[in-house]
Structure 1
């Protein structure tokens, strides 16, 4: 995907593969509350799929699967990717290049392809996800229309260390007017 700096903001009004979805502060579904989702596929008629990038398990693939412990994938960080198919491991690799204005994304790759990508270009970030987030035809568009999601193009945040992607910071950067809602406690009785 090539990013044109001049039209960057206007392009992000509509979701697309490579967009980040930020949960609106009023989205209370525990599966998605305060999440940041990397969309890997978006289609108005085909549906959409992505993974939650800010719910680390603080575990590596080698700890999760002892067979991978001594492999090149052993140190890959593991995340909860979403509520769908949590028994399924999904490998995702990405690379943001500010100089070239590009974002390269490999989604659902196998272990051999993941190792090949890292050997050819160590600048790629590789993550493992248990499960994913998915939307049927038109569902994501309806949720965006209902203001459940804020679309962001802050792709450089994906260079962060595992577990350091901050929903609050991204949301306030993208939509400062939502800061007050984002500051609200999970339990309103504590307010």
Structure 2
């Protein structure tokens, strides 16, 4: 019997990578950072790309990492393997945080961190308004495109509410694969670690 290995082939010609879209890892992409990850691209050009992993939560609060941070119920996520000693954030506060970079819809990247902390102290920011990341995911010019050719990532769209909503993060990879559907529905049936079977 001939096996159909096309279920692993990602059709990259449908959706191009760009700012505001997500990268969905193929089921067997190795490494603890990118295994079954969903990455929001916050920048993409011929010079390279930057993104944050949306679904890899860290087990301690932001106040343990930044001692002078105001009391605030916010999880931290691993953004990627680059600059893991730095905190980054995306938010839906727009121009309320100076220096923010618009991603899409009401999603923004970064801005004045002290300003954000001050607004949190004053009760002007809700936990659902901002997400924090340790490190980021980065690609040099052409590197992401090479990985797409190697079928490492599936590019897709994501709604702003699914980026910011706490509940949607818990099974994000699985839910997005189901939403994309088609032959990618097969992905959910493959074990995370095939060697354990």
What TM-score do the two structures reach when normalised by structure 1?
0.76
1:177 & 1:113 partners in 2: Cα distance? 46
- Cα-to-partner distance string for 1:99-131 (whole Å, 9 max, x where unaligned): xxx623322323234358877786963011100
Where do residues 94-133 of structure 1 align in structure 2 (5 Å cutoff)?
A: 94=92, 103-114=105-116, 125-133=129-137
1:189–1:137 Cα change, 3 Å: closer
Aligned residues: 171
Moved more, 78-87 or 12-21: 12-21
CA contact (8 A) 1:46 1:136 kept: yes
2:126 & 2:106 partners in 1: Cα distance? 13
Normalized per residue, the structure richer in strand is 1
Moved over 6 A (4+): 116-121
Moved more, 12-21 or 61-70: 61-70
1:117–1:19 Cα change, 3 Å: farther
In structure 2, the partner of 1:173 is 179
Instruction: List gaps (5 residues or longer) in structure 2.
Output: 1-12, 94-103
1:22–1:123 Cα change, 3 Å: same
1:40 & 1:151 partners in 2: Cα distance? 14
- Pair member with larger Rg: 2
What TM-score do the two structures reach when normalised by structure 2?
0.74
